[in-house]
Amino acid sequence: MASILKVDTIQDQSGNNIINENADTITIGASGDTVNVVGTLQNNGSGLVSGITEADQWRLTADKTSNGDFTSNLERVDETSFGGIGTGMTESSGIFSFPQTGIYLIRFNSMGYAIPSDNVYISILVTTNNSTYNEFSLTGEGASNTQFTCSTEAMVDVTDISNVKVKFNVSSINAGSSIAGNTNSNYTSFTFIRLGDT
């Protein structure tokens, strides 16, 4: 026969609260207590996952010598030592879609070559409506017949995986300058790390 115990507070033998319910908020333990869960802690039937649940990295496989979005020569890093987490990003014509909602850290690292008096700019662009892209972050490098490296990053709140997407761009690049790509190494790379829930 089933039984029902109706209480708002459960205490230990010393009178310390173990479980307390107040205004639909359940508090387990008190400040300084250690709560040990034996088994699987769940949220609405699904096991809770701690730590980073998504981490992915892509690279440019060939040099880009013209202004505009990176729309081709993109691949997920395929080194045998590569360690992604989760299902990863999907990419179509340079537009990257997220596997789940959350707060993501996005890094764009590039290596390139600039001719004299050339200033090369790289940027991360984000849309929240699957249509209009806005420049989220930008950095640039000017050099004289030399290689350069530069990087920029953004923290994006992905509230809707159908509408929030990201792409990458290079501008102010002139003939003779380039963004370096390589299929065997991360000369230019795009990193996506899900930090937590939105």
Domains of the chain with CATH codes: 9-47 (no CATH), 55-196 (2.60.120.40)
Of 21-30, 41-50, 56-65, 138-147, the least confident: 41-50
- Per residue in 162-181, pLDDT (tens digit) is 999 999 999 988 888 899 99
pLDDT at residue 68 in the model: 96
- Per residue in 185-196, pLDDT (tens digit) is 999 999 999 999
Rounded Cα distance between 195 and 105, Å, is 7
Model-level pTM? 0.78
Mean pLDDT rounded to a whole number for the chain:
90
Q: What does DSSP say about strands 9-11 and 133-143: parallel, antiparallel, or unpaired? A: unpaired
Bigger pLDDT: 41 or 179? 179
Site of tokens 């026969």: 1
Q: What is the DSSP letter of 80?
A: T
What is the DSSP secondary-structure string of 68-89? EE--SSEEE---TT---BSS--
